[in-house]
Amino acid sequence: MIPELHPVLKTLDRYIIKQFLGTFFFILVLIMAVAVVFDFSEKTEEFSKASATWKQIVFDYYFNFVLYYSNLFSGLLIFIAVLLFTSRLATRTEVIASLSSGVSFPRFLRPYFIAATILTALSYYMNVYVLPHANRTRLTFEKTYIWTPDHVDDTHILREIQPGTIAYFNSFDLGQRMGTRFGLERWENGALRSKLTSERATYDTITGKWRVTEYMIRDIPQETNDTIASSRFERIRRGGALDTLIPLKPRDIGQRLENAGAMDRKEIASFIAAEKARGGTHVAFYEVEQHQRSAYPFAIYVFTLIGVSIASRKVRGGTGVHLVLGVVLILIYEFAMKISTVAATNSDFNPMLAVWLPNIIFGSIGVWIYRSAPK
């Protein structure tokens, strides 16, 4: 590179970074303003009925609402921002002029990836450190003033609350903290030693105990060679009500899946380990949430590479053609991400691979488009 080009390149770098970040934040502010207006119009009735103050609505709900959805849609908005201002450069032949002056295409990409690195670091910091606390405040507000009472959609719920101790509910109502057709089994060395069955079990938040009604407890002795003698010592007890203290709370049985976003790194890792031990049915969902916190920020690099490689071509139709091509690609990306995560949550597909696979596929597509872009 000849020395005379250095000041020009520095000016070009600053110009591209400024345009990249400026266009992105302008679109972000515009989209979030529209989102807040639409959300407020939908929830006006709930807010009028709720006892929440305007301060709570603005700072506890909408401030964190904006943080959450800004980060959620950041990849798409970054992609659109890159397409818009790079297409303008191409339409004004500024890209061709830069390349003709001796600037290589990889060198032309450098300021884009500097800006993308800034946004990736910001997105990762938001995902890992800021959003869990912001989501916790927002979800608490929604639970208090907007949501209907919590419920568990699953039936035939099994939880291993201690090694060898298994609790069963046919169904559970989180709002009333009550489960139907409750069962509690204790196993030793692979053999059932006792079993409690009850029509209903209700959790007492004051005592921390479960009250079971219309219960039967069956104590089973160790097996002997004389099966008749063994069954003779089997003990059965019945009763109308019984308080029992077991290490199980309603939140261990089920919670809204949205609460995964309110857990920080340590909390979600501990929760996943506990869910696996309890035999929870939503382990894969929380693992997907865990891996998405790093996969989504990395996708910014993929979107930037594809966006620049597409929009740097000067084509008939200009920005409109670039925008249509870009939107089609991003919709395919989102569809692929949805398919892979659904496969992870509803089958045995590896959650980490499910989250990273769209990035790998579209990263490869981005490299192919980059190689075929005008140099």
The 10s digit of each residue's pLDDT in 76-94 is 889 889 888 888 877 777 6
Please compute the mean of the pLDDT values over residues 239-252 and round it to a whole number: 79
Taking the C-alpha atoms of residue 9 and residue 62, their distance in angstroms, rounded to an integer, is 42
Measured between alpha carbons, how far is 244 from 197 in angstroms, rounded to an integer?
Answer: 12
Cβ neighbourhood burial of 49 (10 Å; 0-12, 13-18, 19+): exposed
Distances (CA, A) of 12 to 51, 105, 107, 300, 374: 54, 13, 11, 21, 18
| Tokens 């005008």 found at | 374
d(C-alpha 93, C-alpha 90), whole Å = 5
Q: What is the pLDDT of residue 371?
A: 84
Q: Quick one: how far is CA 171 from the chain centroid?
A: 26
Question: What is the pLDDT, as a whole number, of residue 35?
Answer: 94
Is residue 317 predicted with pLDDT exceeding 60? no
Residue matched to tokens 């009735």: 45
Is a pLDDT exceeding 80 seen at residue 119?
Answer: yes
Mean predicted lDDT score pLDDT of the chain: 81
Instruction: Give the model's confidence band at 225: pLDDT under 50 very low, under 70 low, under 90 confident, else very high.
Output: low
Distance, in Å, from the CA atom of 151 to the CA atom of 172, rounded to the nearest integer, reads 7
Query: Residue 3 pLDDT > 50, yes or no?
Result: no
5 close to 101: Cβ distance less than 8 angstroms:
yes
Residue 117 pLDDT? 95
Q: How far apart are CA 143 and CA 354, in angstroms?
A: 30
Residue pair 29/100 in contact by the 8 Å Cβ criterion = no
Q: 28: closest CA among 156, 122, 159, 151?
A: 122
The DSSP symbol for 177 reads: T
pTM (two decimals): 0.71
Environment class of residue 65 by beta-carbon count within 10 Å: exposed (0-12), middle (13-18) or buried (19+)?
buried
Letter string b/e over residues 99-127, b meaning 16 or more CB atoms within 10 A of that residue's CB: beeebebebbbbbbbebbeebbeebbebb
